[in-house]
Amino acid sequence: MTEHLRVDPIACRANGLCADLLPELVDLDEWGYPIVAGSDVPAPLRATATRAVRACPALALSLTDR
Amino acid sequence: MISLWYASRAAGMLALILLTGTVVLGALTGGRASSARWPRFTIAALHHNLSLLTVAFVAAHVVTAVVDGYAGIAWLDTVVPFVSVYHPFWLGLGAAAFDLLLALVATSLLRTRISPKVWRAVHWAAYACWPVALLHGFGIGAGDTQSGWGLAVVIACLAAAIAAVLWRVGTSSPDTRARRGAEKAWSLR
Amino acid sequence: MTTTQHAAAPQDADHRLLADWYETGAPADLATHLTRHGPAPLDAYPGGHGRDQLIAELERSGLRGRGGAGFPTGRKLRAVAAGGRGPVVLVNACEGEPVSGKDHALLSLAPHLVLDGAVLAAHAVAAVEIIVCLHDGDPLARPLANAVAARRTDPVPIRFQPVPRRYVASEESALVNLLNTGDARPTSKPPRPDQRGVAGRPTLVDNVETLAHLALIARYGADWFRATGTQDTPGTTLVTVTGAVREPGVREVACGTPVGTVLRLADAAADAQAVLVGGIAGAWLPLPFAARVPLAHRELADAGAALGVGALFVLPANACGVAETAHIVRYLAGESAAQCGPCVFGLPALADDLARIAGATADTGVIARLANRLAIVEGRGACRHPDGAVRVTRSALRTFATDVDRHRAGQRCVHSGQSYVPLRQGERGYR
């Protein structure tokens, strides 16, 4: 059961905390919005991904099962 | 029991300073301030942690005031504004500020379980909580806050909060501006 | 009874939805409609078993949505029916596409086919309500309301919902959002409307042409439907042809008809250089190559385009495809709901880059920058609006590659900056 990182594009306000906390999985485009490359979260990054999800001021980031 | 009364006054002063710090950090968080040494999540985490510390000191301030018994403050007076025997108006302001603070912290701890709109609305109430708390401290503090270094602290808190709010009001992110422009175009506001 | 008995099926392979129009030149009122087709055959699909049979018939027919996405209609019905909880049917009569007129034509000429389709679809999914979504101020509102009133035997209530005149307001989730909150902007998925839509109910959103085809399939069967068209795109389709043509307008053709045949019917200019297929956010195909491409999903996909809303815009020889596309993308940018960063900031950036290319502005990095931006904008919105802008831009860079090279070499457009695609930025919306 892989965990899957997802951005809600309407909720996202380009705060950018996710890219700061999880640079391995999240890049920012030229306007500051996250590009979640691949979006499957490997086990070693699960804890950091959870931190990033909690840190998002807009609650736009989520971890789902896929 | 007189020492608890003094402890309450000291805790109150500290709570005011901590609350001011929380508001300043909150404004910085919302205004997306950041630097190399202070990235966004650090400022946000500091704001979050300082708010919890503030609650602890406010709780200490409230508990010691009630337990001390000097002023005959009942437990109910701490959350229901303006019903106390002791300085009902100034104490009532404190109760009101305390209520707002509890709402702020409760909604923030339950942030993932409540509607984002509700969280935002309650959090904007923070800008009401702080001036009410300040007025409570200034009014009920009498000698403590209306003269000497106590007054200096109150003035410093006032200056810091005003500066932070002015800065916050003056910033907006491109995202916010784009959304506001679109909402006008769609006649949603 | 394992198979439904079908009424005497119409024989014309090309003109089915608009049969009355092609024959008499007049719109079909209720009497004419009933004479030709009879009433909607609800009795042929009784009870839960009947509903299942109707959905199965639609799945067998291979009917795909005609609102732009081309999603298999039977599958959508199946999903909504499985959702339980009193579904709702939305009839999408909002034709927000500037170069398409087929929905309006169909609603003027054969409204009762559309309404039959809505009633049959509602029956298939056991819906509790049908809501016809029409742009605010649409002149068809009154005639349609009259058409609904003239029918007396529909088992499910039909009501009307006016929709703000914006390009994205007729997107599925935007219609649901409008009905739920008064805000006609798309929402994030999940949940999709077929799972949770109006008032939390499973919601079927279908284009009017899709419903009209559905109404005929329910009467005459999947085999009849498949007797024309192609294997993967059976039946007929409505096509709107505009641009450099002497006979613009809406026609009904068998699916699989080559683009060239339709262009000839519209008397397209012999020297037209390209055709925009599927709508303004579709794909450019060069002429004469496009003439041989059949109007069917698979063949169009192989050619780098898609059926979309069946609109063909013909670009005259003396136009600049790059400039036209810049104009289109600028319009699409203005029609963004501005809810998602990559769309609200990305689309104007794409339009800027295209304008710089078309204007032969000295900018060595513009092609690479545009390619990067196309990759970044695609797929990162809550709806498909930015994807459309990306698609039309990519197709322009492919189809007008020679023009792009000439512009990069410093050559400006020979002809004036006049634009041919008829675009007017959306009026102010309202709740």
Question: How would you class B184 by CB atoms within 10 Å of its CB: exposed for 0-12, middle for 13-18, buried for 19 or more?
Answer: exposed
Any residues with CB less than 8 A from the CB of B96 and at least 6 apart, and which?
B81, B132, B136
pTM (two decimals): 0.91
Query: How would residue C1 be classed by pLDDT, with cut points 50, 70 and 90?
Result: very low
Q: What's the number of CA atoms in the CB half-sphere (13 Å) around residue C234?
A: 20
Query: How would residue C7 be classed by pLDDT, with cut points 50, 70 and 90?
Result: low
Average pLDDT over residues C343-347: 97
Average pLDDT over residues C19-40: 90
CB-based contact, B176 to chain A, within 8 Å? yes
Backbone angles phi, psi at C315, to 5 degrees: -90, 125
Identify the pLDDT of residue B125.
86
Identify the pLDDT of residue A16.
92
Query: How would residue C431 be classed by pLDDT, with cut points 50, 70 and 90?
Result: very low
Interface contact B188-C336, CB threshold 8 A: no
| The CA-based dihedral angle spanning residues C244, C248, C251, C256, taken in that order and rounded to the nearest 10 degrees | 0
Mean pLDDT of chain B: 90
Higher pLDDT, C316 or B125: C316
CB-based contact, B188 to chain A, within 8 Å? no
Average pLDDT over residues C168-184: 96
Q: Domain map of chain B by residue range?
A: 2-185
Mutate to test the interface with A, among C168, C185, C340 (most CBs of A within 10 A): C340
Distance between CA atoms of residues C312 and C287, nearest Å: 12
Q: What digits encode the pLDDT tens for the residues C362-392?
A: 888 999 999 999 999 999 999 999 999 999 9
List chain A residues with CB under 8 Å of C188.
8-11
Q: Domain map of chain A by residue range?
A: 3-65
Query: How would residue C416 be classed by pLDDT, with cut points 50, 70 and 90?
Result: low
Q: Which candidate from A10, A12, A29 shows the least CB-CB separation from C376?
A: A29
Identify the pLDDT of residue C429.
46
CB-based contact, B20 to chain A, within 8 Å? no
Q: What digits encode the pLDDT tens for the residues C287-306?
A: 999 999 999 999 999 999 99
Q: What digits encode the pLDDT tens for the residues A17-44?
A: 999 999 999 999 999 999 996 678 999 9
| CATH class as words, domain A3-65 | alpha beta
Query: How would residue C427 be classed by pLDDT, with cut points 50, 70 and 90?
Result: low
CB-based contact, B184 to chain A, within 8 Å? no
Interface contact B32-A31, CB threshold 8 A: no
Could you give all domains of chain C from N- to C-terminal order, each with its CATH number?
19-226 (3.40.50.11540), 236-315 (3.10.20.600), 321-408 (1.20.1440.230)
Closest CA–CA distance from residue A51 to any residue of chain C (Å): 23
Query: How would residue C31 be classed by pLDDT, with cut points 50, 70 and 90?
Result: very high
Closest-CA residue of chain A to C190: A8
Closest CA–CA distance from residue A46 to any residue of chain C (Å): 23
Query: How would residue B186 be classed by pLDDT, with cut points 50, 70 and 90?
Result: confident
Closest-CA residue of chain C to B185: C428
CB-based contact, C166 to chain B, within 8 Å? yes
Are the C-beta atoms of residues A32 and C341 closer than 8 Å to each other?
yes
Query: How would residue B1 be classed by pLDDT, with cut points 50, 70 and 90?
Result: low
CB-based contact, A65 to chain C, within 8 Å? no
**Letter string b/e over residues C124-156, b meaning 16 or more CB atoms within 10 A of that residue's CB:** bbbbebbbbbbbbebebbeebeebbeebeebeb
Mutate to test the interface with B, among A10, A13, A26, A33 (most CBs of B within 10 A): A13
CB-based contact, A33 to chain C, within 8 Å? yes
Q: Which candidate from C188, C342, C382 shows the least CB-CB separation from A33?
A: C342
Query: How would residue B170 be classed by pLDDT, with cut points 50, 70 and 90?
Result: very high
Closest CA–CA distance from residue C141 to any residue of chain B (Å): 22
A-C C-beta contacts closer than 8 Å = 39
Interface contact B182-C339, CB threshold 8 A: yes
Q: Which chains would you list as touching A if contact means 3+ CB atom pairs under 8 Å?
A: B, C
Closest-CA residue of chain A to B178: A13
Mutate to test the interface with A, among B32, B35, B38, B41 (most CBs of A within 10 A): B41
- Kindly calculate the radius of gyration of chain C based on its CA atoms and give it in whole angstroms: 22
Q: What digits encode the pLDDT tens for the residues C90-117?
A: 999 999 999 999 999 999 999 999 999 9
Mutate to test the interface with C, among A8, A31, A65 (most CBs of C within 10 A): A31
> In what order do the strands lie in the sheet containing A40-41?
A40-41, A3-7, A61-65
Any residues with CB less than 8 A from the CB of B180 and at least 6 apart, and which?
B189
Mean pLDDT of chain C: 93
Distance between CA atoms of residues C296 and C274, nearest Å: 18
Size of chain B, expressed as the number of residues it contains: 189
CB-based contact, B29 to chain A, within 8 Å? yes
Distance between CA atoms of residues A55 and B49, nearest Å: 13
The predicted complex's ipTM stands at 0.95
Residue C328 Cα to chain centre, angstroms: 17
CB-based contact, A59 to chain C, within 8 Å? no
Closest CA–CA distance from residue A30 to any residue of chain C (Å): 9
Identify the pLDDT of residue A38.
61
Are the C-beta atoms of residues C346 and C373 closer than 8 Å to each other?
yes
CB-based contact, C4 to chain B, within 8 Å? no
Interface contact C382-A9, CB threshold 8 A: yes
Query: How would residue C361 be classed by pLDDT, with cut points 50, 70 and 90?
Result: confident
